[in-house]
A and B are shown apart, each in its own frame.
Chain A
Amino acid sequence: MDLKEQYEKLLRYCYMLTKDIDLAEDIVQETYLRFWQSHTYKDTNKELAYLYTIARNLCMDEFRKPKLEDIDACDELAGEHRYEPEARVDRLVIEEALEKLPQDLKELIVLRFTNEMNVTDIAKVIGISRFAVHRRLKEGLTLLRKNIGGEAND
């Protein structure tokens, strides 16, 4: 497993969940430290699913913490400069369309198509069957297409 490649993908996933780049980066680094400390990941072919499960759980822990709105706002501003300047308009369109999706569908789509995880690993991370992953992905893509169409009309 390539650390650099997975770091970037995990960061995108955590950023999608938390909407805070610095917090996402904290979570990614904490995820890796926990991943390396544990020995259960040596179970073959489950490394990636295990890594994402740790990251997801850490993000959930963050949601449970009481929010300080002002600090969050500062963080978001601080994080904005990290966005790649060459971000194209269609990329912004798709991100806005993604934001309109329900959280579970958005998560599935990002894991499958942005981070290119296989369906088996996604099923392990989310805790649903592979069949359910396929069904929801299809549902998510349909909704996403509708959202993009709507935005294009706007």
Chain B
Amino acid sequence: MTDRDIKVLLKDAYRISPSEREKAFVRKHEKRSMHIADIFLLELKYMGVRSVLSGVMLILMFALISLLKNPGLVWYLSGLLPVAGLVLICGLGKSERYGMQELEAASRFSIRFIKAVRMFIMGCATLVIVIVSSVVLQIKTGFDFMTILGIIGTPYMLNAWGNIIITRRWHEKENIYGCIVVAGVTCILPALMEKAIRLQIIQPLVFVILLLVVSALTVRESLLYIREREDSSWNLY
């Protein structure tokens, strides 16, 4: 008999069939393992009525504006989208505002992961709005898809980038006022963009390129934001 055979046999040594006592003990003490999907569901519940209502109101406003037979509605939507970004930032900074970051840091999932999940959920919701409105606008205005994406996506992304920078560097609950200012500025931006395109100062393609650049910067800023959450929450700022 080789060592390998012995090692295989040893795996079965002293094997005992489980008793009722063992089953009862395991049943009583075994912690239910948390599936990764559970945290998404939990976070969806944590979003709160106000965030959901703001999202619903935005979608309704988009739908109403889309009904207008006006080629300029692309600019209205572009000016509205930064408000969706503001809703996202409000939901994201909820734990800081209510002083819950330590509690979240002590939970089963790390605060980084919770923040990432929150960003993912809210980002997905906004992405749906952007894509749906881009398709609607393409049908209504006759612009090509990429131009529409550049026009409505650039102010939104600029707003998201600015807001994440503010929340990352300004660790007070008053940072929301800074975010509102950024959202306000980016809401006005489509008016300037419209003028620049109308007077042929800037080509629409520039906004597509700008969107790509700002998206990359937003992703970088988001990663920094998620990474820094853990340290700052334990240092109590």
Binding site for B on A (CB under 8 A): 3-4, 7-8, 11-13, 15-16, 21, 25, 29, 32, 36, 82-84, 87-88, 90-91, 93-95, 98, 109-110, 113-114, 116, 141, 144-145, 148-149, 152
Contacts and interface: CB of A to CB of B under 8 A. Distances in A.
19 contacts: A7-B25, A7-B26, A11-B22, A13-B14, A15-B16, A16-B13, A16-B14, A21-B16, A32-B29, A36-B29, A90-B9, A93-B9, A94-B6, A98-B10, A110-B13, A110-B14, A113-B6, A114-B10, A144-B6
Interface in B21-39: 21-22, 25-26, 29-31
Contacts of B13: 12, 16, 91, 94-95, 98, 110, 114
A83 B16 contact: yes
B21 to A, nearest CB: 6
Contacts of A152: 1
A13 B1 CA distance: 24
Given A3-B26, A149-B1, A109 B10 contact: yes
B19 A82 contact: yes
Given A32-B25, A114-B10, A114-B14, 6 more contacts: A4-B26, A12-B14, A25-B19, A25-B21, A113-B7, A116-B11
A141 B1 contact: no
A76 B191 CA distance: 88
Contacts of B1: 145, 148-149, 152
A93 B29 CA distance: 36
Nearest to B14: A12
A22 to B, nearest CB: 9
Interface in B48-88: none
Interface of B: 1, 3, 6-7, 9-19, 21-22, 25-26, 29-31
Nearest to B33: A2
B6 A145 contact: yes
List the 9 closest pairs (A to B, CB-CB), nearest first: A113-B10, A12-B14, A94-B9, A3-B30, A84-B17, A91-B12, A4-B26, A114-B13, A113-B7
A87 B15 contact: yes
A148 B22 contact: no
A69 B1 CA distance: 37
B231 to A, nearest CB: 19
A25 B9 contact: no
A95 B14 CA distance: 7
Nearest to B7: A113
A15 B14 contact: yes
A141 B3 contact: yes
Contacts of B14: 12-13, 15-16, 95, 110, 114
B15 to A, nearest CB: 6
A16 to B, nearest CB: 5
B112 to A, nearest CB: 18
B3 to A, nearest CB: 6
A100 B9 CA distance: 16
B21 A84 contact: no
A13 B10 CA distance: 12
A145 B26 CA distance: 36
A4 B16 contact: no
B23 to A, nearest CB: 9
B17 A25 contact: no
